[in-house]
Amino acid sequence: MGTAIFMVMMVCGYWYTSRDMSSRLKIKRSFGWDVYFLIALYGCIFVLQGVLATAIIWLILLAASGVNNAFALTSAENVHWNVDFMTWSFLGIQAPVVLMLAFAILFCMYRSNWAVSARLNAGGRKELYQRLSRSNGIEQLLLQCMEEGELAWVTLKSRRIYIGMIHAATFEYANTANIVLIPMLSGYRDSRTLNLAIEHNYSKWYHNHDIDFSSSPKSALEFRKVIMVHQIESLSLFDPASASALAMDKQSGNKRKWIRKSAPKRDYP
């Protein structure tokens, strides 16, 4: 009997976590024993619901027995249907246990396939991603880029740099987690000064050839870059105006330093 309960608990937990979007995203972000404990947690919830449903039936039978014994509604006297219910057996297993497991499976099927909450619309999916991304800085920033159309500055471990729009991101599996970027600028960090050196200006190419997301025969999506997350060293928002201002301030500072160094020394009396 214990083996049957354990099997139903684990199967219900696995079925629910593999069908429900929220649980599926949570379990994809779990590793090792956390996965088994998460599956067992959901399975325990369904088994507990089955226990409560069976207990309600037992209470109904208890109340029905009391009413029948008080008002003699049937020819039987001093009946105890609740006791008979507890002593019934099916294939060597007590009937209440079988009924409890059946209820657990039904609740699992309902929550996984037929409940309204199991079918998320676009707004529900967006709210779910926002809630799950709060614990991950990378996902939160990528979600902001996709929602607001902000440009992202992606620096790879190879010192390669891409600046562009985030088209999609996948984090379901850790070994294949990636982002899809529509590049606007690309370059590299100078090994000596670590300054950005631009090699390709994709935005100028798009403008000169009238390329956008809906153009034909070529669209901006054909220039997309798929970048593995484990290759990313840093990720930040990119504001062209701020970057230009910072660059101008840096150049002005360097110029002032050069003037001070090259200015002739004066002898004061």
If asked whether residues 141 and 113 sit together in one domain, one would say no
If asked whether residues 68 and 148 sit together in one domain, one would say no
Indicate the residue among 118, 152, 180 that finishes a domain. Answer: 118
Q: Say if CB 21 and CB 125 are below 8 A apart.
A: yes
If asked whether residues 114 and 153 sit together in one domain, one would say no
Domain containing 44: what range?
A: 2-118
**245 occurs within a structural domain:** no
Q: How confident is the model at residue 123 (pLDDT cuts 50, 70, 90)?
A: low
Condensed to tens digits (0 to 9), the pLDDT of residues 160-209 reads 899 999 888 877 666 788 889 999 989 887 777 767 788 888 888 888 88
Stretch 70-90: mean pLDDT, rounded? 75
**257 occurs within a structural domain:** no
How far is residue 4's CA from residue 92's CA, in Å, rounded to a whole number?
12
If asked whether residues 169 and 93 sit together in one domain, one would say no
Per DSSP, 172 falls in state S
Q: pLDDT value at position 241?
A: 63
**258 occurs within a structural domain:** no
Is the model's pLDDT at 260 over the cut of 60? no
pLDDT greater at residue 248 or residue 215: 215
If asked whether residues 169 and 229 sit together in one domain, one would say yes
If asked whether residues 152 and 92 sit together in one domain, one would say no
If asked whether residues 26 and 60 sit together in one domain, one would say yes
Contact residues for 149 (Cβ-Cβ < 8 A; gap 6+): 165
pLDDT greater at residue 192 or residue 15: 15
**264 occurs within a structural domain:** no
Domain tally for the chain?
2
If asked whether residues 151 and 234 sit together in one domain, one would say yes
* H helical segments located in the chain: 2-19, 21-28, 33-71, 81-87, 95-109, 122-133, 137-148, 202-208, 240-262
Q: Which of 78-92, 105-119, 248-262 has the lowest mean pLDDT?
A: 248-262
Indicate the residue among 118, 146, 175 that finishes a domain. Answer: 118
**39 occurs within a structural domain:** yes
If asked whether residues 103 and 179 sit together in one domain, one would say no
Q: What angle do CA 12, 16, 22 make, to 5 degrees?
A: 155
CATH of the domain at 207: 2.30.30.100
Q: pLDDT value at position 212?
A: 86
Is the model's pLDDT at 256 over the cut of 50? no
Q: pLDDT value at position 126?
A: 60
**256 occurs within a structural domain:** no
Q: Say if CB 61 and CB 85 are below 8 A apart.
A: yes
**127 occurs within a structural domain:** no
**197 occurs within a structural domain:** yes
Q: pLDDT value at position 98?
A: 86
pLDDT greater at residue 89 or residue 151: 151
Is the model's pLDDT at 266 over the cut of 60? no
Q: What is the mean pLDDT of the chain?
A: 77
How far is residue 123's CA from residue 136's CA, in Å, rounded to a whole number?
21
If asked whether residues 201 and 229 sit together in one domain, one would say yes
If asked whether residues 101 and 179 sit together in one domain, one would say no
Condensed to tens digits (0 to 9), the pLDDT of residues 36-49 reads 888 888 899 999 99
If asked whether residues 28 and 89 sit together in one domain, one would say yes
Q: pLDDT value at position 190?
A: 74
